[in-house]
Each structure stands twice: as C-alpha cells, then as structure tokens.
Amino acid sequence: MALDEMLLERAGRDDGAPAVRLYSFDPPAITIGAHQDPKKILDTDAMRADDLDCVRRITGGRALLHAGELTYCVIAPAGPSGFGNGPGDAFGMISRSLSLAIRSLGIEAEVCRGRESPRPRGVAPPCLSSVTRCELAVRGKKIAGSAQRTTSRAFLQHGSILMRPGSERIVKYLRGSWDAFESRVTSIEGELGRSVDDASLREAIANAFSVMFNAAWEPLRLSERDGEEIARRAAEKRREMRACFAGEVCSP
C-alpha cells in the first residue's frame, strides 16, 4: 500500500508515467477503504485470534480479505491519455482489459452495469458483497472488485481478482451477519473446476493490457531513496492500525 501511494504521487509529476503492479499478500491481510473506521466495521478479537493484519488503502471501497486472490494496481497521469479522457473512461478500459484476460483462461467474465446486494441495517458491507458499475462478474457473481483514487494530476485504481476460495472468509472478521455472502462471489478456480497458478493470470493480464493499450512493458525501477520513503510510509500505516486496535482515536 505504501508503494502504491508513492507511485501515485510519482505519476503526478511532470515526467510521470503509467505503471501496473500485480501482487499478492503473504500472509493474508485485510485492507480497508480510505474512509473506513476499522473499530466500527471489524471484529478485532477475531482478527487477533487469527493473527490477521490490517492496513488502510488509499482508494475507497470497503473491507477486503486478501487471500486466494491477485491484487492489481494501475497508476497513470491524469488527462487525455491511452486510458481515455479521465478516471471514468480509465475504469471502463481497465475492466475490459481484465475481462479479456480472464476470458482468455476460459471464463466468461462480464463488465457489469452494477447492483447492490441487501445488507444488515447500519453495517458496512464487505467489498465483494455487491457488483458495482464496471466491475467484473460471472453469471451475476462477483469475481473481481475495484476502487479508484484520483488527484488533480493522476489516478490510481486498485482491484482484487479472486483466484481461489479465501477472500469470502472476510465475513468472519466483520461486525454483523453475512450468511449469504459466499453465494454472491465466485473465483477462477471455482469456475474452471481446477486450479490456475498465479503466473498464468499475471501473464494473461499483461497480454490483455498490451492489446488494449498498445503497451510495451519495462521493469519498475525504484531508487534507494524510494525504498526509504516506502519504509517510512509503511511504518506509519502500521502505527495507525496498532493505535486503532489499542482503542485510541482512529481518524480515517
């Protein structure tokens, strides 16, 4: 999360360029949206019992358990570009690229218009509980969730692609009851009836982005100073969550 934040700022500079990151969480962890209060939405006792960590995303959206999934992050300068005319266009183009990648694996993933699922009154739902506009679904079940953050000079889009069962366990760590949650999501493994290694999906996404954006790939290079800045931001994020779970004031 700290690296993604730094890349968003870097993309907003005069010499900023687009970047795509694909990564997984090891061990699994929960991310919460930029404006969520973890004390109000999470069962911290259950998280402590399972030694589960939590971090705040720079993007919006809701709580998500990163387990059995592949996270993507797309960052680009604002304004007319290969990503269209603004964040709205970019959201659609990125989703179509991901749909193309998942379809190449043999799954009919659709870019959806969006719908909201019922939820307990007064309780924030998990990220995967509803399919919103431009997100991906298979037969009406969510297979990838996404959220954006925009600045005056750049945008960042986060998303989680469900590879195999795991992320649906978020309900164990949320306040409220979500008994029907598992019926609302699916995964690549669940649709194919067999496992797919992460490398295959990563390659499919890289190929799809190359086709959609006519992109040529080069490694993301970070300087020693970048590494120090990432470490500083990461430490601050850890301090915030420790303070929240210790009962201190937690300001999103």
Reading phi first (left if > 0) and then psi (alpha if -120 to 50, else beta), residue 166 is in: left
Is residue 137 a part of any domain in this protein? yes
The 10s digit of each residue's pLDDT in 35-87 is: 999 988 999 899 999 999 999 999 998 999 999 999 999 999 887 666 767 77
- Domains contained in the chain, number: 1
Is residue 251 a part of any domain in this protein? no
Any long-range contacts for 43-49 (C-beta under 8 Å, 24+ apart)?
43/172, 43/173, 43/174, 43/175, 44/245, 46/172, 46/173, 47/173, 47/245, 48/245
Dihedral over alpha carbons 39, 125, 185, 27 (to 10 degrees): -10
Residue 244 has pLDDT above 90, yes or no: no
Query: For residue 157, how many other CB atoms are within 10 A of its CB?
Result: 22
Residue 120 has pLDDT above 90, yes or no: no
Is residue 114 a part of any domain in this protein? yes
Is residue 15 a part of any domain in this protein? yes
Alpha carbon distance 150, 232 (integer Å): 23
Which domain, by its residues, includes 127?
2-245
At 198, which CATH number? Answer: 3.30.930.10
Is residue 37 a part of any domain in this protein? yes
Give residue 202's pLDDT.
96
Is residue 250 a part of any domain in this protein? no
The 10s digit of each residue's pLDDT in 136-165 is: 999 989 999 899 999 989 999 999 999 999
Alpha carbon distance 185, 67 (integer Å): 14
Residue 112 has pLDDT above 80, yes or no: yes
Is residue 77 a part of any domain in this protein? yes
